[in-house]
């Protein structure tokens, strides 16, 4: 499995911890930054992650910022991206099963590493259910 990951300065520390966790599971990661806690603009990270998912270079994306709102809003500007803000493992599972989300957005200021690991595991480990949900997902793009 290939995952593209990125964060702004507020999510940098959690991103680095998540990378260690996922590498230990044999997941191939592409990190688009940021590479420090220096202030930067979250769209500069969200857009490349979205592009990696859209062009098939990654199966999923992970975006991390302070609240996860900024990266989710930015990524969702891309047609075909369904970026879900997830702060509980159950929400991540539903984002995949019901919404066919392809990027998980984590709020670094509100979750710890253990929660992030559970959220990511649920996200990448849950298949889209299709059925009645497929019709709804098909109506998302404008």
- pLDDT tens across 68-122, in order? 999 999 999 999 999 999 999 999 999 999 999 999 999 999 999 999 999 999 9
| 30: pLDDT strictly greater than 90 | yes
pTM confidence score: 0.98
Query: Residue 109, SS3?
Result: coil
For 65, the domain range is 2-138
Tally of domains within the chain: 1
Largest alpha-carbon pair distance within the chain? Answer: 45
pLDDT at residue 24 in the model: 98
CATH number of the domain enclosing 108: 3.40.1400.10
Catalytic sites, residue numbers: 65, 98
pLDDT at residue 101 in the model: 98
Strands 103-107 and 83-85: parallel
Which DSSP string do the residues of 22-64 spell out, in sequence order?
HHTTT-EEEE----SSS---THHHHHHHHHHHHTTS-SEEEEE
> CB within 8 A of 20, min separation 6: which ones?
none
- pLDDT tens across 46-62, in order? 999 999 999 999 999 99
């Amino acid at each position: 499995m290939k995952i593209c990951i990125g964060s702004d300065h507020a999510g940098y520390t959690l991103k680095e911890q998540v990378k260690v966790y996922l590498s230990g599971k044999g997941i191939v990661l592409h990190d688009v930054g940021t590479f420090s806690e220096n202030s930067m603009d979250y769209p500069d990270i969200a857009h490349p992650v979205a592009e990696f998912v859209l062009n098939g270079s990654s199966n999923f994306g992970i975006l991390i910022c302070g609240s996860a709102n900024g990266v989710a809003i930015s990524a969702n500007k891309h047609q075909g991206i369904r970026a879900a803000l997830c702060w509980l493992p159950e929400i991540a599972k539903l984002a995949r099963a019901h919404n066919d989300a392809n990027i998980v957005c984590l709020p670094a200021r509100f979750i710890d590493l253990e929660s992030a690991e559970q959220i990511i595991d649920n996200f990448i480990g849950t298949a889209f259910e299709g059925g009645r949900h497929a019709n709804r997902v098909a109506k998302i793009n404008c």
